[in-house]
A and B are shown apart, each in its own frame.
Chain A
Amino acid sequence: MNKIIVALIPLILLFLLIVFFISNGPVGVLRGYFPPVEKVFMEKVTLEPNLINLDLINDGPDQVTIAQVLVNNVYYKFKMEPSQTLQPLQSGKIIINYPWIRGNTEHITLLTSNGLTFEKDIPVAVETPKVNEQYLTTFALLGVYVGVVPVFLGLLWLPSLRKLSERWHKFLLSLTAGLLVFLGLEAFSEAIELIKKIPAAFDGLGLLIIGFFFSLFTLLAISEAAHKQKKVNKAVFLSYLIALGIGLHNLGEGLAIGSAYAIGELSLGILLVLGFMIHNVTEGLAIVAPVAKLFTNWKSYIKHLLLLGLLAGGPTVIGAWIGGFGYSPTFALIFLAIGIGAIFQVVYELVKYIAKDSLDSLFSATNASGFIIGILILYVTGLVVV
């Protein structure tokens, strides 16, 4: 009991210090002397016929009043909920009755009571897809095309892999590691891009760091626990881990496709779909690499293969759904961060598996070339995705 009180003393003193600072400290310097810092972040625009809906958040330290709204440099009447004034971190919604033109770039400017302006572009104005059964099936279908089918196609390399020598098997596993490192770094760069697109108050970098280490260490702990169980086959388990890592990565790809569609950049979406399709075939290869020697009898392992394929490809569908009608850069960043953590955990497991507890064997010419070729394969197939 005493120990707890002693441990709490610094916290109690800190609290008193804060109270004292607010009442007696030089707070006036921080307040009043400078003009208010107004910041508004426009998170999402949805379009209906003759209506523009805008979701926004005040991500500054002071309250903000949206006094007027311009669309394409024309003042337009609008309604704002809950009110025109937003407190820090409060969200609001603006509805503008504007005859937007299909295919145009529409430009929204918010004018605050202090005359500051905040701008948002709608790159290609199209009606925002509505959530309905048909929309969901369309996107499920897209997900299947991009994620599930290509991964299954990749799995069909299994019979060819089986005949490989030990050396070439290691080459293949190294290649898989290369693929994954590339995917992980690519996702990382996407995540860095996304940080700019989310409200500053949410601290995108913080979310990335938390998501990454959370997923990395959770999966490491799970896999440590699993390895202690003797029933679990290491190779099979590794395949599942790879499938999971790739699945989380594909969730991000799905998000990209869905949101490209939702913001009207459909042509970009088609390119994305084609690119990811080619990209993802190689992922099937990665998944079956560890179990190539093990899965000798197709019949007994078909269940595993189906599950692996679904685990890796299925999340594309879910990602496309989320991306299509509920896209939020903040959630996309969190998913990406989790995916990156998962991928690097898998890389770690792979390296351990290839090294077989002896680090010296790791950097053989075969392994190194496999790794580099893995990276090159994704680079070349990735060129299709503009």
Chain B
Amino acid sequence: MFDKKIAIALILITLTILVLAKPSYTQDTKHKTHASEPITEDQIHLAAHGNAGVIGNVDTHDFDPNVYMVSWNFNNLPESEREKYYKEIPLLDGTLLREYWISAENKDIEIAPGVMFPAWTFNGQVPGPTIRATEGDTVKIHFTNNGDHPHSMHFHGFHPSEMDGATVDQQVKQGETFTYEFKAEPTGLHLYHCHTSPLYQHISKGLYGVYIVDPKEQRKPAKELIMVMNGFDTNFDEENEVYAVNTVAFYYIDNPIKVKLNETVRIYLVNILEFDQINSFHLHGNFFEEFKTGTLDKPNAFTDIITMGQGERSILELKFKYPGKFMFHAHKTEFAEKGWSGMFEVEK
């Protein structure tokens, strides 16, 4: 008797399954028709590939990468303002005494639209102001530490041991001032940075800048651009979240650097990037002469890509053959897509 009932129950169950199972066999064909809705999907697809980058704009009131790129010795400031930070005094031997007033201060800076970074800065900017002298000049820097940690200024170049700013007793304590003085040499592209321990902290927080020593016999005229490849660890995990040339992610993508056709362009390129082993510079549609550290007259390479470790720098010289837009970026794609990308706009 039970067998009969069991049979009935089983049949009922099987029927239920069959009735419910039917639609699932049509699933695949339905899916295909769903996929062929051409207009919207194509639009979305195109948009998806063109949507890399950041949203919004950075406030450039305090720091404008376009201004930084072409400024040295505070020549971007009006004369009355400039003399607070920089003075030139001709010396008897025909060289100049160049005097600078620089201070270390904490400042929140905008490194990508809407992203604030609690930086340690020289004169409230990252990179710090560019110091530029001719070989043989005397550089004198009155450095005041207005930050909340000891800091120092350590210059690459020839200088006496007591001007090195690197040992423990050479740290400038909070509120104190130290004057660095040395002859500008050798000719080349150098840098300065804080040399207080932990070093990675003081550098990644923003305490670095460019130091250019021009040869006594001037370089040939060119459009000169200063570019510092840097990055920012915004969440303190010892990795950079934002990469850039001159601090602001993707800035030169939205604000292309304007140059003229066949004009000589000279790029002073410095790599200060913390945490990552290397950085690189690649230019589209063009080649450049590379002068490593800018110390010698002969170029070291004629190429379109160079790779640099931290602290390495090169002078690049190039001319654009064609008008239009040409990208430049780190040929380490991760850095490029995290902000270290820019654009030249070549005008006739």
Contacts and interface: CB of A to CB of B under 8 A. Distances in A.
A77 B56 CA distance: 9
A381 interface: no
B23 A99 contact: no
B20 A137 contact: yes
Contacts of B21: 141
Contacts of B250: 75
A115 B112 CA distance: 10
Most buried by A among B6, B24, B232: B24
B44 A70 contact: no
B27 to A, nearest CB: 6
A74 B49 CA distance: 12
B54 A75 contact: yes
A105 interface: no
A149 B337 CA distance: 53
B13 A70 contact: no
Given A75-B339, A113-B116, A117-B235, A50 B241 contact: no
Contacts, number: 118
B51 A65 contact: no
Contacts of A114: 116, 234
B337 to A, nearest CB: 4
B41 interface: yes
Interface of B: 1-2, 5-6, 9, 13, 16-17, 20-21, 23-24, 26-27, 30, 41, 44-45, 47-49, 51-56, 112-117, 232, 234-235, 237, 241, 249-250, 334, 337-339
Contact of A73 (B16, B53, B338): B338
A94 to B, nearest CB: 11
A65 to B, nearest CB: 7
Interface in A55-114: 65, 67-68, 70, 73-78, 84, 96-99, 111-114
B47 A111 contact: no
A298 interface: yes
Interface of A: 48-51, 65, 67-68, 70, 73-78, 84, 96-99, 111-117, 133-134, 137-138, 140-141, 144-145, 148-149, 152, 156, 159, 298-299, 302
Nearest to A302: B5
A77 B235 CA distance: 21
- Counting chain A CB atoms within 10 Å of each CB, the highest count among B44, B241, B249 belongs to B241
A112 B113 CA distance: 11
A98 B51 contact: yes
Contact of B338 (A74, A78, A138, A140): A74
A50 B37 CA distance: 14
A74 B114 contact: no
Contacts of A50: 41, 44-45, 47-48
A113 B27 CA distance: 45
